[in-house]
Amino acid sequence: MSMANKVHKDKIKKSLNIYLKDIHKIYTGGNFREESFYPSLKNLIEATSEIIETFNKSSNPVGVLVQPKKTEGGNPDFRIGKDGEIIGYIEAKTPNTDLQDIENSEQLQRYRSFSSNLILTNFLEFRLYKYGNLIKKVAIARQFTLQSLRLPPVPEGIEEFIDLLDTYFSFSIPEIRKSSDLSVELANRTRFLRDIVYEELSKENEHITKFYKAFKEELIENLTKERFSDLYAQTITYGLFASRMRVKDNFRKETAWKFIPETLSLLKEIFYSFTGPHFPESLSWTVDDIIWLLQKADVKNIMKEFKTTRWEEDPVIHFYETFLAIYNPKEREHLGVYYTPLPVVSYIVKSIHKLLKKKFGKAEGLATKDVTLLDPAAGTLTFVVQAIKQVQRELKNRRKEGLIKSYIEEHIIPHFYAFEILMAPYTVGHFKVSMILEELNFRFRSGERFQFYLTNTLEMKEPKQTDFFVDLAREGEQAKKIKQKIPILVVLGNPPYSVSSVNKSDFIENLMKTYKEDIKSERNIQPISDDYIKFIRFAHWKIEQAGKGILGFITNNSYLSGIIHRGMRRKLLDTFDEIYILNLHGSSRIGEKTPEGGKDENVFDIQQGVAIALYVKYGRDNGGK
């Protein structure tokens, strides 16, 4: 026997009669807006829920929250909750709207990707979408009956309507046990959040605009509203993610900031604003949905997955890359954000470790306590974490494992540095390094942090002293100090590749003049301004600043033979005493083949070939050993 035959059909029919009478009165009265019908639909959903749930003897009836202010592209009009869980949304259009025209609109596509349980209605027809797919639709009245009859239309399709609502009310987000599943769901919601942030920013919402101006002044000079919306949305999502990883039970928006790692004071400052009176309601809806999704995450299992890092795979890094590939694949490509395979990272780190011993007289390599290290485009701290593990291996080989905590306190924390401009990898990186250090029995004390800073490496600006966003200004001050004054012996990493570089600060442009001295007569010198070359120039400058050191990068390999790169190659040869190149090739643009004639696969999912380069400059104190 179907659900429709079991439920008190007469009660549902009575509720529908009252509902259609209200709709008919509003419609025939004219001069209506979409919002005019909201109270009637709210009453219907609550009444039918009570009837259905009473019969099922399962849960409490649903609660319906109407968006307080209609926005052009923001949240759906209704949020439906049950037993403290957000079970779905309803998007409504006026009764004279053809839902077929709306179904594939950009707005509804966003809603369908955002909500796993969504109803689209024109108050007469109801369409139910599960995980973006249309699974049921029913009309309780026809448009022409509403328009032509003096009396309210008689409800039809009652059994189908009951079945649709029962399916809708019974929805619950399943427990999420895998980090890959969680990253996909978070990506969908973060994309939605990004659009709402941009809408609020376009309306010059005071709260959001204040954050935008702070990031523009302190972090990224050429920050656009679109990029800020990305940055801010990812900040919220990954801050909540980092917080959730530390909370066993009772994870709530009001207290999320308390559980963010101490090393992420900047995020604490942002999250504290969630509970303030000026936080936009349109953002609050989406944040609530993200929080509920994270509540459904099996943190214990995901943490176990993170800690079971195999040689071929690093779950923390894959978590971010999976997220970014779903969230904004074009931005991922534009920014050059690609996961560096661990064998590549390990090769660079181990090579530097050996060179420190052989060429610089550092007996313990990276574990030697006066070695300073910087990753200027750190992403999720893959290279830095591998360097920490190399220190651990060195101590183990020397039977000094018991001293690892002191090495962390006296060497790694004060001498290992990293920069990143994107908030999501910055957050995940802090979370990851904290987890790695905790596995080595080290926990940060109050006020202590890993020296991983949110900054644009290619800018050298003076942070503004302001009472607002103190931690962002402090990040800028510390990063500037490292750029200007701290001697760095080892610079390593995988800088972004972007020939259409937006990094054009006076600082980096002045440094780049050195690489451009011999190519003034060339027609197109744009490729010499690729971001990866600017990062090589920055690292080159830091090694020169220290008077000695090692630079180890994996980059686009075009500079090895490019005509316009000849000045760059000359300057590198002038500075460094030894240069090691491992050209990995892999360019699909020029159709490279393996020695056997097969396809030359790239270590990244990109068309341009890549190369690992190690540049060594001796200092006077080691005499070129």
C-alpha distance from residue 119 to each of 79, 82, 99, 291, 494 (Å): 10, 16, 11, 21, 45
Contacts of 411 (CB under 8 A, 6+ apart): 367, 369, 371, 391
Query: 151 falls in which pLDDT band (50, 70, 90)?
Result: confident
User: Any bridge partners for residue 491, and if so which?
Assistant: 374, 551
Give the separation between CA 616 and CA 619, rounded to whole angstroms: 10
pLDDT at 337: 52
Burial of 179 per CB tally in 10 Å (0-12, 13-18, 19+) = buried
Residues 71-127: tens digit of each pLDDT: 555 789 999 988 778 899 999 999 989 999 998 898 898 899 888 899 999 999 999
Map tokens 């523009």 to a residue: 216
pLDDT at 308: 65
pLDDT at 320: 75
Model confidence at 171: pLDDT above 50: yes
Query: 621 falls in which pLDDT band (50, 70, 90)?
Result: low
Give the H/E segment covering residue 203: none
Contacts of 283 (CB under 8 A, 6+ apart): 193, 196, 197, 200, 208
Residues 443-496: tens digit of each pLDDT: 888 878 999 999 889 988 777 766 557 778 888 889 999 999 999 999 999 998
Query: 4 falls in which pLDDT band (50, 70, 90)?
Result: very low
Q: Which two tokens stand for residue 82?
A: 């049950």
CA angle 172, 173, 177 (to 5 degrees): 140
Give the separation between CA 28 and CA 23, rounded to whole angstroms: 9
The two most distant CA atoms of the chain are separated, in Å, by: 100
| The residue count for the chain | 625
Strand ranges inside 258-383, DSSP E: 373-375
Residues 401-449: tens digit of each pLDDT: 999 999 999 999 999 999 998 887 888 888 889 888 988 999 888 878 9
Q: Which two tokens stand for residue 29?
A: 């009265």
Model confidence at 549: pLDDT above 90: yes
Phi, psi of 427 (to 5 degrees): -65, -50
Q: Which two tokens stand for residue 404?
A: 């690892």
Burial of 383 per CB tally in 10 Å (0-12, 13-18, 19+) = buried
Cβ–Cβ < 8 Å for 204, 232:
no
Tell me the three state secondary structure of residue 452.
strand
Query: 247 falls in which pLDDT band (50, 70, 90)?
Result: confident
Model confidence at 50: pLDDT above 80: yes
pLDDT at 204: 86
Q: Which amino acid is at 549?
A: G
**pLDDT, mean over the chain:** 84
Which residue from 174, 284, 270, 183 is spatially nearest to 231, judged by alpha carbons?
270
Q: Which amino acid is at 50?
A: E
Phi, psi of 132 (to 5 degrees): 90, -10
Give the separation between CA 530 and CA 389, rounded to whole angstroms: 32
Q: Which domains does the chain have, with CATH numbers?
A: 3-169 (3.90.1570), 179-329 (no CATH), 495-625 (no CATH)
Model confidence at 315: pLDDT above 80: no
Which residue from 586, 588, 553 is spatially nearest to 572, judged by alpha carbons?
553
Tell me the three state secondary structure of residue 373.
strand
Over residues 173-186, mean pLDDT: 87
Give the predicted TM-score (pTM) of the model: 0.80
Cβ–Cβ < 8 Å for 312, 578:
no
